[in-house]
A and B are shown apart, each in its own frame.
Chain A
Amino acid sequence: MQETEKQAIKLWFFSSLFWLALGPLIGALMSLQFLWPDALNFLADLNFAYSKARIFHTNLVIYGWIAMSFVAAILYIIPKLCAVELQHAKITYWAGWLWNFSVALNLALIWAGIVSNPLLSIQPYEYAEAPLLVDLLIVVAVVMVIFSVHRTVLARKKPHLYVSVWYLLGGLYTTAITYLVGNFLTLAFTGLGNQIIHAWWLHNAVGMFITPLGVGIAYYFIPIAAQQPIYSHRLSILGFWTLMAFYPGTGLHHFLQMPMPTWIGEFAVIGSVLLIIPVLAVVVNHLATPAQNWRRVFDSFPLRFSVFGTVYYLLTCIQGTFQATHAVNWFIHFTEWVQAHAHLALAGAFTCYGIAAMIYIFPRVTGRRLYSRTLLSWVFWIMAVIFPLFYLAFTHSGLVTAVSINLMNHTIYETISAVWLARLFRTLMGAGVVLGFLLFGYLLMRSLQVGPKFEEGMSEVVESAPASAQGRVTA
């Protein structure tokens, strides 16, 4: 691997780690708004409020953590699969700085809350709040990454494209289209037409950006970490094309009860339910591959995290198809049930994929192994035990709200006290999850200094306490 290529990967890699430490922390902080709102009144002195913190949180975890860690993984995977060096590595390196700058500028502008400036005011689209100026910078950065990745694929030494390349390259292009629609095409529509285009963006931010990239990454790490060929080539083709066919039309399931022509809502619902096909294809492939060599799941951390991610992915999508039907949707819509779902997908499934990719890549770009198996086990068990509790607390609070308001005709104001306990539990468990992320960040940063040298063929994580870890760790 050339030095510039390593440099580019490292930049995207460590930036994502930084945002991972920050984004969820803000989430935990703002969850206090629902417990002791007066305790957060001091934010008003800083021109800040819960609602701005929430935009910070979602933008940081999506554009800071998820996107940057995925790009780091892509920059590693694509050259490996094509058996060439990353083309134009310098460009992706500078794209990394541009991206970081855009994320930081985005935060600054959200904080400033400028009113009615076409370039600097935030936009009304969830997850696309970034002001136009930031959007332009992000578009430039994305184009730079796509350019370099596509050139790498064109320069490949192997004629065939492994399924990961399909997902990653296709995913980068659909990401670009989606981003352009969400941030620019929406400007051309007014009234409810605007909301319909917004809906197209809202779900495709998940479906055409995060899902194909995450799944593509898992498609690479699962077979390689399990040391098994992929279970079924047919399934991978089926999964890819049905994903591309069904995903982009489902956005309106976020606004099923808004006034709109029913047929387009119906289209979104049917598409959402059909989505179970690509999901099952992917999940079967991902779980059946290591099944041949099951011991590896216990030995290899990247595999463990990926398999866990896949389990969360399956749960998310079963929940998703279930709640997309009208009969369920009207009941749980507007409640925190939806946020629970969002966290299961992003903080559960795709964060697990991201962590798996990072564990795998870290030794290979820095030349050092992770110094502590114990710490990493802690991170894993937090994601495996505390995270589901966090999810359940979120769901619980959503369900209580839904029952209280829909069935018992209580007002929202009356329901606030009914969900207090569930929200307390959510904050506590969420704090646990944040701790897990911070531990993970600490583990990687510390391994930079004390991790023993890595050579290809070794496991990413040391087996027992090395001398260089100053006796901190026991196996």
Chain B
Amino acid sequence: MKRLMTILLLAVWVSLPGLAQHEHQPRPSPTEAPPIYWVLVAIAVIAIVWFMLWALYGKMRPSRMTTTSYHALGALVIIMTLFTLVLYIIPAQQAQELPPTARAWDWKPGEVLQDPTGSGLSGEPYRGYLVYLANGCIYCHTLYLRPEDIKTGWAEGARPDEVSQIGDFVRYPFTMLGTQRDGPDLTVIGRKIPDMQYQIDHLVDPRRFKPQSVMPSYRYLSERELRDLAAYLVSLGNDPQKLRAGVAPAPAPEDPKIAKGKELYRSLGCVACHTIDGSRSTGPSFKGLFGDEVEVTLPDGTTAQVTVDEIYLKEAILQPGEKIVKGFPNIMPSFAERVTESDLEALLEYIKSLR
């Protein structure tokens, strides 16, 4: 009776994953498995049930064990282990043979990437990938986006169409998806911050841009390693073909003020949170910002519509906590201590120029 109860209890426990059906797994179903898989599963299930019944109710005659039967059972242990290995090798084989997606990462050893901001910096993304490995970035950062990450706070600024697919990875010699996130996912970091100089500065001193950051300083990396690593980061989330084609060096802005503003945008780290191509990141994009209508939350919790003018922009930079753009967190640091009046002018001119 006790034994039967135990078996029943176990059966309930085992059916739990079935009950907790996975609404969070919007991917193809188990019917993909090759038929041989189902045959193997059926055999395994029958063997397990039979074995458990035997172990619980069967006759035990250990005296009949001989050295040969011990060897046979020892071989069985190894066979069971290898059996599951084969089950893993089947999908592994399938996965590495899938066709690449259009945006699949695709950089060969030795290939050089030019900084898309036109700064003249360059590096080898493939080698950067190896630098990433050698320095253990994988223990705080992941390199894949789950469907779950889009609605939640895991991957700020990532778009639903950027959820990772098998084909995205086929050209990687090995993968470093990662199991832990103590920092943000980096799958699309290059699309968000396509600026090698910023990436290098951030690696050397992360808290210069993000005061709360717990990321270690990697200032010990050699110049070349930093450049390669930055090139790798910039290659993430960007179409390799476009990056290869390179950018016509952006026409140097006529106005020296705008040029200075552009430089400040990078060196102060605005680039970490604001894009200039209209896409969302940690903060709103600067593109077309000036003159736009935005909805903001005031400190007392009420909301208001404001038009973006110079006064608003100044306030947004000096006292960012005063008006919070709706849909964004209140994490922008105040730059009141760090910018002079003329810096501020330059930044405003630059933002205004981004139509």
Instruction: List chain A positions with a Cβ less than 8 A from chain B.
Output: 33-34, 37-38, 40-41, 43-52, 54-55, 113-116, 121-122, 124, 126, 159-161, 169-170, 173-174, 177-178, 181, 186, 189-200, 204, 208, 233-234, 237-238, 241-242, 244-245, 248-249, 251-252, 254-267, 269-270, 273-274, 276-277, 280, 321, 324-328, 330, 333-336, 338-339, 404-417
B74/A173 in contact, CB under 8 A: yes
A262/B30 in contact, CB under 8 A: yes
Residue from B28, B77, B170, B177 within 8 A of A244 (CB atoms): B77
A116/B127 in contact, CB under 8 A: yes
Tell me whether B146 is interfacial, beta carbon within 8 Å: yes
A/B pair count, beta carbons within 8 Å: 308
Residues of B within 8 A of A409 (CB): 151-153
B10/A277 in contact, CB under 8 A: yes
Residue of A nearest to B148 (CB): A330
Stretch at the interface among B93-101, B194-202, B297-305, B342-350: B93-101
Assuming the contacts A196-B95, A238-B52, asked whether A248 and B216 have C-beta atoms less than 8 A apart, the reply is: no
What 1/0 flags go to B61-100 for Cβ under 8 Å of A?
0100100001000100110111111011111111110100
B37/A174 in contact, CB under 8 A: no
With A and B bound together, what is the CA distance between A408 and B24 in angstroms?
17
Residue from B21, B77, B140 within 8 A of A173 (CB atoms): B77
With A and B bound together, what is the CA distance between A422 and B24 in angstroms?
29
B113 to chain A, nearest CB (A): 17
Residues of B within 8 A of A50 (CB): 216
Residue of A nearest to B10 (CB): A277
B269 to chain A, nearest CB (A): 13
A122/B215 in contact, CB under 8 A: no
B185 to chain A, nearest CB (A): 9
A411/B184 in contact, CB under 8 A: yes
Assuming the contacts A189-B96, A262-B28, asked whether A173 and B78 have C-beta atoms less than 8 A apart, the reply is: yes
Stretch at the interface among B130-138, B233-241, B286-294: B130-138
With A and B bound together, what is the CA distance between A55 and B139 in angstroms?
9
B171/A191 in contact, CB under 8 A: yes
Tell me whether B248 is interfacial, beta carbon within 8 Å: no
What 1/0 flags go to B217-258 for Cβ under 8 Å of A?
111100001000000000000000000000000000000000
With A and B bound together, what is the CA distance between A51 and B136 in angstroms?
5
B190 to chain A, nearest CB (A): 18
B33/A263 in contact, CB under 8 A: yes
Interface residues on B, range: 35 or more
A41/B220 in contact, CB under 8 A: no
With A and B bound together, what is the CA distance between A76 and B216 in angstroms?
44
Residues of B within 8 A of A260 (CB): 91, 95, 166
Tell me whether B340 is interfacial, beta carbon within 8 Å: no
B136/A55 in contact, CB under 8 A: yes
A90 to chain B, nearest CB (A): 25
Tell me whether B282 is interfacial, beta carbon within 8 Å: yes
With A and B bound together, what is the CA distance between A408 and B154 in angstroms?
11
A193/B74 in contact, CB under 8 A: no
3 A-B pairs with least C-beta separation: A51-B136, A193-B96, A326-B22
A51/B24 in contact, CB under 8 A: no
Residue of A nearest to B24 (CB): A330
Residue from A44, A124, A251, A405 within 8 A of B216 (CB atoms): A44
Assuming the contacts A192-B166, A269-B17, A409-B153, asked whether A416 and B92 have C-beta atoms less than 8 A apart, the reply is: no
A169/B74 in contact, CB under 8 A: yes
Stretch at the interface among B115-123, B205-213, B316-324: B205-213
Residue of A nearest to B181 (CB): A334
A416/B212 in contact, CB under 8 A: yes
Residue of B nearest to A248 (CB): B84
B174/A41 in contact, CB under 8 A: no
Residue from B33, B85, B140, B215 within 8 A of A248 (CB atoms): B85
Tell me whether B56 is interfacial, beta carbon within 8 Å: yes
Residue from A40, A48, A325 within 8 A of B16 (CB atoms): A325
Residues of A within 8 A of B147 (CB): 257
Residues of A within 8 A of B177 (CB): 195, 255, 258
Residue from B56, B93, B219 within 8 A of A44 (CB atoms): B219
Known: A113-B134, A191-B169, A192-B170. 10 other contacts (CB 8 A): A44-B216, A124-B174, A174-B77, A251-B88, A257-B25, A257-B148, A258-B164, A263-B91, A269-B17, A413-B210
A263/B172 in contact, CB under 8 A: no
Residues of B within 8 A of A249 (CB): 84, 87-88
Q: Which of B144-193 contact A (CB under 8 A)?
A: 144, 146-148, 151-154, 156, 164-166, 168-177, 179-184
Residue from A34, A52, A273 within 8 A of B14 (CB atoms): A273
Assuming the contacts A124-B133, A261-B33, A405-B154, asked whether A160 and B329 have C-beta atoms less than 8 A apart, the reply is: no
With A and B bound together, what is the CA distance between A474 and B53 in angstroms?
54
With A and B bound together, what is the CA distance between A124 and B282 in angstroms?
29
A328/B20 in contact, CB under 8 A: yes
A113/B135 in contact, CB under 8 A: yes
Residue from A38, A190, A261 within 8 A of B32 (CB atoms): A261
Query: Which of B32, B55, B142, B144: most chain A CB closer than 10 A?
Result: B55
Residue from A116, A327, A416 within 8 A of B214 (CB atoms): A416
B349 to chain A, nearest CB (A): 29
B146/A194 in contact, CB under 8 A: no
A446 to chain B, nearest CB (A): 37
Residue from B22, B88, B138, B152 within 8 A of A124 (CB atoms): B138
Tell me whether B102 is interfacial, beta carbon within 8 Å: no
A192/B220 in contact, CB under 8 A: no
B127/A192 in contact, CB under 8 A: no
Tell me whether B312 is interfacial, beta carbon within 8 Å: no
Residues of B within 8 A of A327 (CB): 20-22, 24
Residues of B within 8 A of A280 (CB): 10
Residues of B within 8 A of A114 (CB): 134
Residue of A nearest to B66 (CB): A159
Residues of B within 8 A of A197 (CB): 88-89, 92
A201 to chain B, nearest CB (A): 10
A37/B216 in contact, CB under 8 A: yes
Assuming the contacts A197-B88, A234-B55, asked whether A412 and B148 have C-beta atoms less than 8 A apart, the reply is: no
Tell me whether B60 is interfacial, beta carbon within 8 Å: yes
Residues of B within 8 A of A159 (CB): 65
